[in-house]
Each structure stands twice: as C-alpha cells, then as structure tokens.
C-alpha cells in the first residue's frame, strides 16, 4: 500500500487520481478548500481517505498540513501537485495583480508543497513528486500567456528538481494533460477584464474555444488517472508524461516549429563565437 498526498481533490483530475489510488488499496490525504468537499472525500474510503483544508498559497499552512499528513498515514510515497486554476486574456489585458495571484497558486503553491515534503523524502532516500502541469506549459497558445507561463515555470521547476534529487533516490514526473472533461473550462474560468477589442481575433479566441468545448473535451479524467498510476509504477517512470492525443499533437508541433527556427537562424546563433572574433583580429 502506498501513501499519497494530493492537492486539489474536490473535483477533476485530482479527484479521479485519488479515487484510482484508493481503489487499489492505497491511502490518500487530499486537500480541499471547503468543508463539504472534505466530507465527501473522506466518505470515499473511511480510514484511508483523509481530507484536509488547505490554501496552497499559505506557506505556513502547507508545512503544517504536510507534517500532519505524514502523522496520519506514515511516510508519503507520492506528492501530487494538482491544485491550480486557469486564466485567459491577452498579455496587455492582464493586470499584474491577476498575474501575481495566478503565480501564487500555480507555481509558488507547488513549490511550497515540494519544500515541505523533501526533508522527509531525503531522509528516507525515497519518494516521488508529481507535478500536474499542462500542454500549455510546453506549447504557447494566444490568450493563455499568463496561465501558460505558470505551467512553463512548473515544467522547468520539476525537470530541474529531478536532476537535483535523482542521486537521493527521489523521482519526479511532470504530467502534462491536454483537454480533460472536467469543470476546468466552465463559465467560472477567470479572465482578464476589461478586454481590448484589438485582440478579438487572437487572444479572445482561447476563452471561446475552451467554453465551447466544455463537456466535450477529448480526454477522460478517470482514464488519465489510470495512465498516471501505470506510468508511475514503471521501473523508470517518465520525466514528462503527456496525456491525450491533443497534448501530443500540440507539444510535437511546438517542438517542431522551434527546431525549424533554430535551424533557420543558426548562422546568427554561431556567429558570436569569441574565438572566431579573436582570430579575425
């Protein structure tokens, strides 16, 4: 039996992953924001499903909740940074206050959880940290710059962390889903306000596309949860796990376009060699 700590288990992928882990007999400590969600979660598997209220932007509370989780179920085998929120809007439209708030939830919150969990994992020389990023953290899409920036940053954080903790027996996996059939794209999706008409044909499309596809996204959260469990059980689990055909499509397209840019402009790239400048003098 494994012990899990998963942020954001009220709904969506976090809840699906928690249910899948509980179904195979594991213990899960999941964080929620509301008492009603806590009661529903603990009822899933009394004695193995533990809900704790947490705002991931409260660093002191994160430390307390992680330590309490360890006292409830024992050493935490998996830490899953799933809690987060979306945001749409053009770069120019987005206030710095909204950008800071999103960074607090989507990047600094996971960082606080990681920092709280690592000391015990280092002592045991074991553990697995899982960061739920997004294909938007690999492929830029107009209208999602600030959201994507938080996920790009979380991608870098996770991959860099993997290099730092590999010698300590700790594993890291970034999970990058595409569209999942959850409440993520519902009408409550935050967005920039006021809007600027000049971005109607670019940045504003993102919100319309997300809302139009709500309820018909290509990915199933329950199957995504099963894929995550299976991947994490592999002897050498992935560093980056894309989830969904759409995620694979957009990530491969982005990488291909970047490779083409690198090739096209490599003359300028290589023209700055200091040795060549010295030889020409």
Q: Are 128 and 237 within 8 A, CB to CB?
A: yes
> Six-digit token pair at 265?
């402009």
Q: Which residue has the tokens 């690198």?
A: 262
- The residues that bridge with 86 in the sheet, in sequence order, are none
The angle at the Cα of 172, spanning 136 to 131, to the nearest 5 degrees, equals: 35
Interatomic CA distance for residues 185 and 243, integer angstroms: 17
Catalytic residue among 147, 199, 250, 268: 147
Interatomic CA distance for residues 247 and 242, integer angstroms: 6
> Six-digit token pair at 216?
């018909």
The three-state secondary structure class of 219 is strand
**Is there a catalytic annotation at residue 147?**
yes
- The residues that bridge with 171 in the sheet, in sequence order, are 128
Residues classed as catalytic: 147
């Amino acid at each position: 039996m494994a012990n899990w700590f998963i942020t954001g288990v009220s709904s969506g992928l976090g809840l699906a992953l928690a249910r899948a882990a509980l179904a195979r007999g594991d213990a899960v400590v999941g964080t929620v924001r509301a008492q009603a969600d806590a009661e529903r979660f603990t009822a899933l598997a009394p004695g193995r499903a533990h809900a704790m209220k947490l705002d991931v932007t409260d660093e002191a509370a994160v430390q307390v909740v992680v330590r309490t989780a360890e006292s409830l179920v024992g050493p935490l085998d998996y830490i899953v940074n799933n809690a987060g929120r979306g945001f749409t809007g053009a770069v120019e439209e987005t206030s710095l206050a909204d950008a800071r708030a999103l960074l607090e939830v989507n990047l600094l919150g996971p960082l606080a959880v990681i920092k709280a969990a690592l000391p015990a994992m280092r002592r045991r020389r074991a553990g697995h940290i899982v960061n739920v990023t997004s294909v938007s953290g690999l492929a830029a899409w107009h209208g999602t710059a600030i959201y994507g920036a938080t996920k790009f940053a979380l991608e870098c954080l996770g991959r860099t962390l993997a290099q730092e903790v590999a010698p300590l027996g700790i594993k890291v996996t970034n999970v990058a889903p595409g569209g999942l059939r959850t409440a993520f794209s519902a009408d409550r999706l935050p967005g920039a306000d006021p809007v600027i008409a000049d971005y109607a044909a670019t940045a504003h499309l993102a919100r319309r596309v997300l809302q139009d596809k709500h309820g018909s996204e290509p990915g199933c959260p329950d199957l995504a949860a099963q894929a995550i469990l299976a991947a994490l059980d592999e002897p050498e689990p992935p560093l980056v796990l894309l989830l969904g055909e759409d995620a694979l499509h957009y990530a491969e397209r982005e990488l291909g376009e970047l490779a083409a840019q690198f090739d096209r402009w490599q003359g300028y790239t290589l023209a700055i060699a200091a040795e060549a400048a010295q030889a020409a003098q």
